[in-house]
Amino acid sequence: MSGSHLTEMIVFGVLFLIVSVMGFVAARWRRPTTMQSLDEWGLGGRSFGSWITWFLLGGDLYTAYTFVAVPALVFGAGAAGFYAVPYTIVVYPLVFLVLIRLWSVSHVHGFVTPADFVRARFGSPLLALLVAITGIVATMPYIALQLVGIQATLEAMGVKGHLPIIIAFAILAAYTYQSGLRAPALIAFVKDALIYLVIIVAVLYIPHKLGGWSHIFGAAQAKFDKTPAPGDGTLLNANNQLNYAMLALGSALALFLYPHSITSVLASKNRNVIKRNMAALPAYSFVLGLIALLGFMAIAAGIKPITSNGKADGNTVVPLLFDHLFPSWFAGVAYAAIGIGALVPAAIMSIAAANLFTRNIYREYFRKDASDSEEAKVSKLVSLIVKVGAVACILLLDPQFSIDLQLIGGVIILQTLPSVALGLVTRWFHRGGLIAGWVAGMAAGMWMLYRIPNPVTHKTHFGGSAYPLTDLGFDTKVTVYAGILALLVNLVVAVVVTIVLKAAKTADGVDATRTDDYYADEGDPKVVRGTREVEEELAT
């Protein structure tokens, strides 16, 4: 490992400066007459074409946390870490038709958030509030986890303390406040180009330096054979296969329920853009598979994670691998790819969370007559607060705890699936049934997560998402993904309560959407009704 990191820091700093300038310049890119509306500031004018959307979604979904945590999981647990590959393959066929319907109905009614849709579809402000709160709570730790990627990179360069992270997020906050969604959309081009460059070079150069793939996989197998642990190894076993499959499916179902994913979709200019992107985005899954292999490469290279306060930080293995094997200048490029890879999704996530608060909490409960300009101002301010909260998570909490929070976030966001995803294809559910299902699913999910220990971090509660079936009375070591079990509870309760309420002829909410709303496209003459018109219909 090099004794000085000056070259890496210079390259990292220059590239970071370039994207920061791009973030501020983005305010003039495709600049409208005014940025004082959520359509312009929060959704980029709903005008992004196929290429911009592809880079934006890629920058949104494949984050710095993915870059460092997926290979870190492979480094520590082996094959179980590859769950991220099948789930990113499965997700696009699952959401292909659903996202097109969401775009169309949002285009017709001017919806900015998934909670906007739920409010109109089921005529329930309370259900919309629950969806909004769920989205904000699930997004906050996700933003904090982008900081984990930057922190791991800085530690590998020998930079200590939290000041550089605070400065980086202050710059991010400034250009996001000014440019809105246009900033991460423009920066995503640089971010994705750097990641593709670094990964292609890594999978060609590093195996050659380490003696080939046979040596890499042999070293990984030798490590897991030497220190066996339940579920660890280069192959799955009977105890973790079911959890692996359920985690992949649950993660796929959750991915496009996150507000930031929906924000990127709603910024597209027409249905064909979404269709093309759902067909093209699996290309990132190929890259993700290559990223995961960096964990085995780190084992073969003899990388030891940086230890802080007696705890080994597995997130540092990829930055250390780059520092160990790459020339200093290219290690700087790799570090910049990770750092910039954190800024793009963090910006989109903060915008999405701010839009949820503004539209579905502030306007619904505090200022029903808020103007478009007022909405934009509130959303800008809230996006700053969200970033401050994310930084606080890193400053006040153990980073390992924040990683566990990401697993909790997946369980949480899955509870919006019945009202958001199923609501796009059916209006059968009663709003009371969906609310009851949300409460039951959330309670079941939190109870299971509370019962899950983590022997590695010595936590007795909230130690992951793999729920042991022994807790349900089964004599087995098999674990399952808590998110899927909680979702099943949610759906069963929603169905039963819906049947009961319909049998009792209990009043339901008014559906303000129409069948043809779900097929509207760019330039369609029926796209004339905005959110305020929908609210007037609901009021009458």
Hey, CA dihedral for 361, 366, 370, 374, is it positive or negative? negative
Residue 333 makes CB contacts below 8 A (sequence gap 6+) with: 11, 15, 194, 197, 198
Q: Indicate the average pLDDT of the chain.
A: 86
Summarize pLDDT for 311-345 with one digit per residue, the tens.
777 788 999 999 999 999 999 999 999 888 888 88
Give the Cβ contact number of residue 17 at 10 Å.
11
**Euclidean distance between CA atoms 263 and 355, whole angstroms:** 9
- The count of other CB atoms within 10 Å of the CB of residue 214 is 9
CA distances to 398, 457, 475 from 479, rounded to whole Å, are 26, 18, 11
Distance CA(263)–CA(253), nearest Å, equals: 17
Closest by CA position to 314, among listed 466, 457, 143, 463: 457
Helix (H, G, I), strand (E, B) or coil at 310: coil
**Bridge partners of residue 288, in order along the sequence:** none
> 498 CB contacts (<8 Å, ≥6 apart)?
428, 429, 430, 432, 433, 434
Is 218 exposed, middle or buried, given 0-12, 13-18 or 19+ CB atoms closer than 10 A? middle
Sign of the CA dihedral running 68, 73, 76, 82 = negative
In this prediction, residue 477 carries a pLDDT of: 82
Q: What is the mean pLDDT of residues 58-73?
A: 79
Give the rounded distance of the alpha carbon of 483 from its chain centre. 15
Are 11 and 329 contacting, i.e. CB atoms less than 8 angstroms apart? Answer: yes
- Residue 114's closest CA among 92, 138, 94, 93? 138
CA angle, corner 393, sides to 391 and 395, nearest 5?
Answer: 70
Per-residue pLDDT tens for 94-125? 888 899 999 999 999 999 999 999 999 999 99
How far apart are alpha carbons 501 and 70 in whole angstroms? 45
Domain residue ranges of the chain, discontinuous segments joined by +: 35-409
| Tokens found for residue 487 | 């979702």
Please enumerate in sequence order all residues whose Cβ is within 8 A of that of 203, keeping only pairs 6 or more positions apart, or say none. 290, 293
Least confident residue range of 183-187, 224-228, 237-241: 224-228
How many other C-beta atoms lie within 10 A of the C-beta of residue 428? 11
Quote the pLDDT of residue 399: 57
CA distance 172 to 10: 19
pLDDT band at 127 (very low <50, low <70, confident <90, very high): very high
pLDDT above 50 for 531: no
For residues 156 and 353, which has the higher predicted lDDT (pLDDT)?
A: 353
**Side-chain half-sphere exposure of 191, counting CA atoms within 13 A:** 33
Q: What pLDDT, on the 0 to 100 scale, is given for residue 1?
A: 41
3-state class (DSSP) for residue 428: coil
Spatial distance between the Cα atoms of 403 and 59, rounded to a whole number of angstroms: 20
Q: Please tell me whether residue 138 adopts helix, strand or coil conformation.
A: helix
Query: pLDDT for 269-294, tens place per residue?
Result: 999 999 999 888 888 888 888 889 99
Among candidates 145, 203, 184, 147, which has minimal Cα distance to 334? 203
Judge contact between 60 and 264, C-beta under 8 A.
yes
Q: Are 340 and 190 in contact (CB under 8 A)?
A: yes
Question: Would the pLDDT of 163 be above 80?
Answer: no
Kindly report the backbone phi and psi dihedral angles of residue 233, in degrees, each rounded to the nearest multiple of 5, phi listed first: 150, 170
The residue-averaged pLDDT of 183-205 equals 89
Model pLDDT, residue 487: 97
Calculate what percentage of the chain has a pLDDT beyond 70: 91
SS3 468: strand
In this prediction, residues 297-314 reach a mean pLDDT of 83
CATH superfamily of 35-409: Sodium/glucose cotransporter (1.20.1730.10)
Q: CA angle, corner 172, sides to 405 and 132, nearest 5?
A: 45
3-class SS at 475? coil
What pLDDT does 342 receive? 84
Cβ neighbours for 152, distance < 8 A, ≥ 6 positions apart:
68, 313, 315, 316, 318, 319, 338
The pLDDT tens digits of the residues spanning 15-35 come to 989 988 998 888 777 776 667
- E strand or H helix at 104, and its extent? helix 84-109
pLDDT at 234: 82
Tokens of 191: 């971010």
Average pLDDT of the segment spanning 294-307: 91
Higher pLDDT, 457 or 189: 189
- What's the CA gap between 114 and 101, in Å, rounded? 12
Q: Where is 225: in which H helix or E strand?
A: helix 213-226
